[in-house]
Structure 1
Amino acid sequence: MNIIKPNLKFRGTLQKRALTKYIVLHHADASKATVQDIHRWHLQKGWAGIGYHFYVRKNGEVYEGRPIATIGAHCLGHNSWSVGICAEGKYNSEIMPPKQKQALIELINYVKKLYPAAKVVGHRNLMATDCPGENYPLSEFKSQFNK
């Protein structure tokens, strides 16, 4: 798996994460968006930049967002102990392409090797939201990685 480093510029200093309990899965709720789009949207919210640690495009490309060892901005109340992975798409209405699904499996495997005790969850498992969408293969990922 190739993780593309888009050389994003963050506002301020990112803090290190001391604990990793969760790998939180998200969808962008945007049918088409680049990692630069997400970064720009999050900067416009006043954040340091993209809140996710990784962003996976529909074509299977994997991008680094925030450095993995830092605190993200993707799941309020759980950022200090989680890694955020966002998938391009609107998975309340779309179906995930096979290339993207395979890239997510490889990426989750990679993150699980770094943080073996981390539990794979959807954003909606930790907050009142429908993210990552009803058509996101969340139950499949949870059963595959939470053994």
Structure 2
Amino acid sequence: MRKISKIIIHCSATPEGKDFTVQQIRQWHTTPKPKGNGWRDIGYHFVIYRDGSVHPGRPVEQIGAHTSGHNANSIGVCYIGGCAPDGKIPKDTRTPAQRAALIRLVAELLRQYPAATVHGHNEFAAKACPSFNVQKEPELCGR
């Protein structure tokens, strides 16, 4: 098993109020460039749907493809949403069910990997993702 030192939170950068699935994200990630990323699988290890259900993506045992330079020792968690209805403006679109599921999932991951720290993708890249400040949510960071 990989040594996990970070749990990194992402958004799918999709419009508020619209549902997307692991399979759709997998398709985006595996479609060859220039239309997709050209990866071998979905980049995230977990995806949280708008209804709060948590779905597996890439197996945790495998290195993800979600945060350049930090994939080897991290787990990527993505919630569906992250943009205003126009699909362009970053916005924290987490539903109450997604917020609760994210807190539960991260708590479970921190139990499994007690040395891990929790971060937003925006801490490692010039992006708005996950469209909120993870460090300002102590219930997510295990504090």
Q: Same fold (TM over 0.5)?
A: yes
Instruction: Give 1:104's aligned residue.
Output: 102
Instruction: Answer 1 or 2: which has greater helix percent.
Output: 1
Choose the corresponding residue for 1:51, options 43, 50, 55: 43
Instruction: Give 2:126's aligned residue.
Output: 128
Instruction: Give 1:37's aligned residue.
Output: 24
Residue ranges of structure 2 left out of the alignment (5+ in a row): 32-36, 84-89
Offset of residue 146 of structure 1: 4.3
Choose the corresponding residue for 1:95, options 93, 96, 99: 93
* SS of the residue 1:63 aligns to: strand
Cα distance in 2 between the residues matched to 1:98 and 1:140? 17
Cα distance in 2 between the residues matched to 1:94 and 1:132? 8
Amino acid in the other structure paired with 2:45: H
Amino acid in the other structure paired with 1:23: I
Offset of residue 139 of structure 1: 3.2
Aligned positions, number:
128
Cα distance in 2 between the residues matched to 1:103 and 1:146? 14
Cα distance in 1 between the residues matched to 2:124 and 2:133? 17
Once the two structures are superposed, what CA deviation does each residue of 1:30-86 show, in whole Å capped at 9, x if it has no partner?
Answer: 133111110110011210110000000110010000111210000000000100000
Instruction: Give 1:28's aligned residue.
Output: 12
* SS of the residue 2:118 aligns to: strand
- State the 4+ residue runs in structure 1 displaced beyond 4 angstroms: none
Amino acid in the other structure paired with 2:75: V
Residue ranges of structure 1 left out of the alignment (5+ in a row): 1-16
Offset of residue 94 of structure 1: 4.7
Offset of residue 93 of structure 1: 2.9
The answer to whether the Cα contact below 8 Å between 2:92 and 2:130 also exists between their aligned partners in 1 is: no
The answer to whether the Cα contact below 8 Å between 2:13 and 2:81 also exists between their aligned partners in 1 is: yes
TM-score (norm 2): 0.82
Once the two structures are superposed, what CA deviation does each residue of 1:10-42 show, in whole Å capped at 9, x if it has no partner?
Answer: xxxxxxx63211100000001331111101100
* SS of the residue 2:64 aligns to: coil
Cα distance in 1 between the residues matched to 2:92 and 2:122? 18
Offset of residue 137 of structure 1: 5.8
Amino acid in the other structure paired with 1:68: V
Cα distance in 1 between the residues matched to 2:47 and 2:22? 6
Task: Name the Cα RMSD after superposition.
Answer: 1.6
TM-score (norm 1): 0.80
